Amino acid sequence: MRYISKALIANGLALAVGPFCIAVQAQDYIDVEAERAAAAETQPAGRADPYGAKPAQSYPTTSYGIGAAAGTQSQSAANNNPQANMAVADRGGNAGQLLLQVQQLQQEVMRLNGLVEEQGHEIRMLKEKSLERYLDLDRRISLLSGGEAGAGLPVMPPAGSAAVEPVASANVGNNAPVEQPGEAQAYQAAYSLVKAQQFDGAVQAFQQFLRDYPAGRFTPNAHYWLGELYLVTTPADMEASRQSFMLLLDLYPNDSKVPDALFKLGRIHYDKGNRERAREFFDRVIQDFGTSRSAAVKLAQDFIRENY
């Protein structure tokens, strides 16, 4: 009985002390593992202890559907966030709008460049035509001053000489205009502005002359010179020129300036792009005045040969 009691006491002590021993052994094991890990870090590369401590590795935690559910919830939350979606859409939309605006601006620049080139070409053509008309008018003035051509046209007196009465255009028939008092002086003053190449002032002077002498002896000449002057002013007024020449044809069909007016009407219609109408006036000059000494006949023939 006494031996049994001692055995029981020994076993109870073993049971009581056992957990403390296990804890001490575990602590010793942990310390040994830590020392091995520190020693492995201090060893040179390539000489690591194959039996030494290995670094701890992390493995994905298995949550048995919990992680997947969380990812699904995050996606649902993003889809249910309209402000975030709108911000992304706005960034994409702004980039698209900027690209579209750049393309539109490029197209507009190309269109404007084309217009500039076209207008530049038109300006060059207008300058060439204005220069041609100016030279033609200057040639006619020189011929009249020199008395080489233009019979029946007003003749300017030589510089420094006494004023000579300008000669009016020759008109055939009973309806020839009669010179009125003061008409010759007014016409001479207007024509002197043409000679001085003061074309704007000459236009105003001849307009005033027609208001003062609507049926005078020099009225046909005034209509003709207005038609010429409207073509050389800046800008040229082709319609006003056409009307002046047509008035000369309608009111004074037998005037000596009719061939020149017909040729000018042909040039005006040609410059306006009406080639058929222009050809009618050129042909009329040749047919009606081919046997005359008018310089307009040769001008019409040369123009047809060069442009038709």
Domain boundaries, the chain: 101-141
Would you state the pLDDT for residue 288? 95
Rounded mean pLDDT for each run of 10 residues along the chain, 308 residues in total:
53 52 48 57 53 52 48 53 60 80 89 83 67 59 46 36 44 64 94 92 96 94 95 91 96 94 95 94 96 91 94
74: three-class secondary structure by DSSP: helix
DSSP annotation of 151 = T
pLDDT of residue 77: 53
Q: What is the mean pLDDT of the chain?
A: 73
3 state SS for 49-68: CCCCCCCCCCCCCCCCCHHH
The answer to whether the beta carbons of residues 200 and 175 sit under 8 Å apart is no
pLDDT of residue 148: 34
pLDDT at 299: 93
pLDDT reported for residue 111: 87
Say what the pLDDT of residue 117 is: 82
Q: What are the angstrom distances between the C-alpha of 130 and each of 134, 204, 229, 272?
A: 6, 20, 11, 14
pLDDT tens digit string along 23-61? 445 444 445 455 666 655 555 554 555 555 455 555 555
Residue 119's pLDDT is: 80
Using alpha carbons, list the distances in angstroms from residue 29 to 34, 41, 123, 170: 9, 19, 103, 142
Question: Which of 262, 269, 306, 255 lies closest to 284, judged by CA?
Answer: 262
Q: What whole-number distance in Å separates Cα of residue 108 and Cα of residue 33?
A: 78
CA distance 265 to 271: 10
- Radius of gyration of the chain from Cα atoms? 56
DSSP H or E segment with residue 94:
helix 82-146
Q: Which residues contact 271 (CB under 8 A, 6 or more apart)?
A: 129, 238
